[in-house]
Each structure stands twice: as structure tokens, then as C-alpha cells.
Structure 1
Amino acid sequence: MSIHRRERSAALIHPYIHMLKCPICHRTMTMISPDNIQCSSRHTFDLARQGYINFMTRFFKGNYDKRLFTAKRDILAQSAIYTPLIEIIRHRIEGYSNSSSQPVHILDAGAGEGTLLQQITQHTPAVGWGIDIAKEGIAMASSTYDQQIWFVGDLAYSPFAEGQLDVILNILSPSNYEEFRRIMKPDGWIIKVIPRERYLTELRELLFRDRHHHTDSRERVLRRFGMHHHLIDLIPLTYTLPITEVVVNSIIHMTPLAWHGTESAIASVQASLSQITIDLEILVGKRR
């Protein structure tokens, strides 16, 4: 099975190897086999048994572990918690696709365990690329979803050549706007999703009863976004959903918010959380 995954991943990447560059020497990638991918300077990056390629050039140890990514995957599989968001993004990408005669290449920058990219690109002719600095998430993505291309990599040293991507997704994840601008096509789009004030408000209220939990300033996000991309649309999205006990436990493990909650606060969440509010803003931009 692992050999099959490597072979399948190599076959998926092969037609698009020209889109990639070496994150070490920045030269073009020239060769791919079921074992590795190599640049013209012979820097070599292995295909893992799960089928992903690790393009990291430095050691990284993050706080995101397998339990977090499993919880996120379970939530997306067992509930409609992000379905309205996925539908809006798919509709936007379909509009872009209708104006292009070539396959649309979509990068999820901060793909995690891959479910959002899979749901956005499934049953479409789009080519989905997912990258994340957390190996645990990408290993899960490539083990679960076999129609997308998965990389472990640092957005500051991404393995893409200049001007290759039609759409970059940046969903509830940190940004590297300089790199996004470099790897986007001149007429490419960026779709960034940010939390608004009431995002997961029920969870925040239970975890931080005596504290105010700060979110990043919307104005600061918009200012940074506008420095690199023309904002062409801004879509608010707010809804509240009932959730089951199983989903409650997954939410606790999924969100870093719970890392800062006391044991009693987490027990309170498990006992009383029956609904959750999704409050987001979708920024659509074009490269300056």
C-alpha cells in the first residue's frame, strides 16, 4: 500500500514538475521517481511512504499533534460545521475556472490534515496542492486523500516557481503575503478566511469566563492584506449550528483555545456546549 501511494503521488506530480523549484538553491526540479524528487543541482527530497514530499529545510517542532489533526478531520467528516464556507469558496473558484481554459491550480497554504482542500476540489477538474509546516497533518492528508498533492514545507521557502498558482487558499492560518504574491499567476486570486468576533464564542465564554480573549485586529489584517493584494470582495459569514457530544470532544482537541483552558473549564465545555457559532470573513484579492 505504501509503495502504491508513493507511485501515485509521483504520477500526480510528474506533469507539473515544471511548476516546482528547489527550496535550497531555487533551481528547477528536473526528475521525480516513486522514491524522490530532484533539482538540477541534485538536491534530493524523498517521497514518504504516505505519498507526501518533505521540502523542509530546517527543523521544526510545533504544538500541533496528531490528536489535533484527527479531531479536525472528524469534525469535518461528522458535521456540517464548515459546509457553508466550503460552498462559498467553491462557488468563487468555479467563477475563476469558467474564465480559464487550463486546469486551475489551487494551493491550500496551511492545509493541516487536508479535508478542506479535499472538499473544495472534489468532483472538479482543479489540481489541488496542500502545504503545511506540520508533518503530522500532511502525513494524515496524504494517507487519506489521494487526488491532491501534499507537501511538508515552510511558506517562507515554498517549493513553487514564480507565477504558477491560480488560487491560493489561506483559511484560518498565518500568511506570508510576499511569498503568495511571488507564486501566484499575474491574474491569480487569494482567498483568505479570518475569524470575526463571535467565532466559536460559546467555547470562548466557557473557557475564559474571567478573561477577555483577544483576536487579531481586523483592521491590521485588512491593512496587511491590502499592502500586497487588491481586495476585490469581502464576504461576511455567520451561522450557529447544534453540535453533538462527539463533535464537542473533537472541538476541544481541535482548537488551540483549549490549550489555555483549565481542567474545570474544559469539563464545563464537555457538559454544557450544545451549539457553536461560526463567524468568519472571506477576503478575496488579486495580486498587485
Structure 2
Amino acid sequence: MSIQRRERSAALLRPYIHMLHCPLCHHELAAVNADSVLCTANHTFDYARQGYINVLTRPFNGRYDKRLFAAKREVWSRTGLYAPLVAVLREQLTEHALRQREPIHVLDAGAGEGSLLQQVTQHLPAVGWGMDIAKEGIAMASSAYDSQIWMVGDLACSPFADQRLDAVINILSPSNYEEFMRILQPGGRLIKVVPRKLYLTELRERLHSGRIERSNPEHLSLERFKEHFKLTSRIPLTYTLQVDEAVRAALVHMTPLSWHSSDDQLQQASHTLSQITIDVEIWTGAK
């Protein structure tokens, strides 16, 4: 099965090898075989048995583990909690695809376990690229979704050549606007989702009660976005849904909110959480 995954991934990447360059020397990637990708200076990047390519140029030891990504998979793909957000993102990409050549190339920067990229590009004329610095998430993504190209990589040293992508989606994760500008084509789109004050408020109340949270003023983040991209739309999205017992534990463990909570707090939240609020804003910017 692992050989089949690697061969599948190589076949998927081969027509689009021109999209990438070597993250070490920035030479062209010249060859794709069933085991690895090579650049013209002979730097080699191997396929993992799950089918992804690791193009990290430095070690990464983060706290994002399998439990967090499994919880995210449970919430993103097996509940309708984020369906309204997925619908907005798909609409934004569809509008862009209608004005561009087909297929459009879409990068999910911070793809995690891959469910979001799979959902927003489904039935679109699009090639989906998923990249995350956390190997555990990308391993899950490439094991589950075989229509996208998955990479473990760092936005600070990404493998994309200049001006190759039609769109970047950046969902509830850090941005590198300079890099997004470099890899997007002229007229390309950045679609960024940022949390607002009420995002997962019921969970924060249970896990961070009495704790002072760091402020991240939305207007400052928006100004930084506008320094690099022309803001073409700004869509607020707020709703509250009931959650059943089956999904409560997954909600508790799907975010870093759980990292600094005691086992008692986590268990209490799992038992008492009855609803959850999604409160985000979607910014679309043109290069």
C-alpha cells in the first residue's frame, strides 16, 4: 500500500513539477520518480510511505500531535460545524476560477490534516496543494486524500517557484505575506480566515477561565494584510450550533486551547459543552 501511495503521489506531481523549485538552492526540480524528487543540483527529497514529500530545510519540534489532528479531522469532516465557512471559501475560489485558466492551482498554507483543502476544492477545476510544517497532520492528509499534493514544508522557505499559484488559502494559521506575494501570480488571490472575539468562546470559557489572553487587535492584522494585498472582500461569519456528546471531546482537543489545561478541565469541558460559536472573518486580497 505504501508503494502505491508513493507512486500515486509521483504521478500526480509529475505534470506540475514546474511549479516548484528546490528550497535549498532554488534550482529547478528536474526529476520525479516513485521514491523521490531531485533538483538540478542533486538535492533529493523523498516520498514518505504515506505519499507526502518532506521539503523542510530545518528540524521542527512543535506540539501539534496526532491527537490534535485526529480531533480536527473528526470536527472538520464528520460534522457540519464548519460547513458555512467551507461554502464561503468554495464560492470565493469558484469566482476566481471562472476568471482564470483551468485548472487553478490552490495552496492551503497550514493545511493540517487536509480536510479543509479536500472540501473546498472538491468539484472545482483546481489542483490542490497542501503544506504544513507539522508532519503528523500531512501524514494523515496524504493517507486519506489522494487527489491533492501534500508536502511537509515551511512558509519561510517554501518549495514554490515565483509566481506559480492562482490562490492561497490561509485558515486560522500564521501568515507570511511576503512569501504569498512571491508565489502568487499577478492577479492571484489570498483568502485568509481570521478568528474574531467570539470564536470558540464556550470552549475558552471552560478551559481559560480567569486567564488573561493575549490581545491580537483585528484592525492591526487587517492593516498588515492591506500593506501587501488589495482587499477585495471582507466577509464576517458568525453562528452558534448545538454539539452532541459524540463531538464534544474532539472539540476540546482540536485546538491549542487544550495545551495548558488540566485533565480535570478537559474532562469537565467534554461533559458540559452543549454548543459552540464560530466567529470569523474572511478576507480576500488580490495581488
Q: TM-score range by the shorter chain?
A: over 0.9
Letter in 1 for 2:92: R
Looking at structure 2, the residues matched to 23 and 95 of structure 1 have their Cα atoms a distance apart, in angstroms, of 31
Deviates more, 1:212-221 or 1:113-122: 212-221
Show the counterpart of 2:218: 218
Q: CA deviation at 1:122?
A: 1.3
Distance 1:132 1:115, change over 3 A: same
Show the counterpart of 2:229: 229
Letter in 1 for 2:21: K
Looking at structure 1, the residues matched to 34 and 72 of structure 2 have their Cα atoms a distance apart, in angstroms, of 29
Paired residues for 1:11-50 under 5 Å: 11-50=11-50
- For 1:130-156, what per-residue CA distance to the aligned partner results, in whole angstroms no more than 9, with x for missing partners? 000000000110000000000000001
- For 1:182-233, what per-residue CA distance to the aligned partner results, in whole angstroms no more than 9, with x for missing partners? 0000110000000000000011111122223335220221121111111111
Show the counterpart of 1:95: 95
Q: In the alignment, is residue 243 of structure 1 matched against residue 247 of structure 2?
A: no
DSSP-derived class of the 2:163 partner:
coil
Give the aligned length: 287
Looking at structure 2, the residues matched to 270 and 40 of structure 1 have their Cα atoms a distance apart, in angstroms, of 52
Show the counterpart of 2:208: 208
Deviates more, 1:223-232 or 1:81-90: 223-232
8 A contact 1:109–1:131 mirrored in 2: yes
Looking at structure 2, the residues matched to 250 and 272 of structure 1 have their Cα atoms a distance apart, in angstroms, of 13
DSSP-derived class of the 1:214 partner:
coil
Looking at structure 1, the residues matched to 65 and 201 of structure 2 have their Cα atoms a distance apart, in angstroms, of 24
Letter in 1 for 2:14: H
Q: Cα RMSD (Å) of the superposition?
A: 1.0
Letter in 2 for 1:138: I
TM-score (normalised: structure 2): 0.98
Q: CA deviation at 1:268?
A: 2.3
Gaps of 5+ in 1: none
Looking at structure 2, the residues matched to 209 and 155 of structure 1 have their Cα atoms a distance apart, in angstroms, of 33
Gaps of 5+ in 2: none
Looking at structure 2, the residues matched to 163 and 213 of structure 1 have their Cα atoms a distance apart, in angstroms, of 38
DSSP-derived class of the 1:107 partner:
strand
Q: CA deviation at 1:72?
A: 0.4
Letter in 2 for 1:74: E
Letter in 2 for 1:213: E
- For 1:39-69, what per-residue CA distance to the aligned partner results, in whole angstroms no more than 9, with x for missing partners? 1111110011111000001111100001100
Paired residues for 1:47-62 under 5 Å: 47-62=47-62
Paired residues for 1:1-288 under 5 Å: 1-287=1-287
8 A contact 1:27–1:41 mirrored in 2: yes
8 A contact 2:248–2:271 mirrored in 1: no
Looking at structure 2, the residues matched to 97 and 279 of structure 1 have their Cα atoms a distance apart, in angstroms, of 27
Looking at structure 2, the residues matched to 210 and 271 of structure 1 have their Cα atoms a distance apart, in angstroms, of 20
DSSP-derived class of the 1:260 partner:
coil
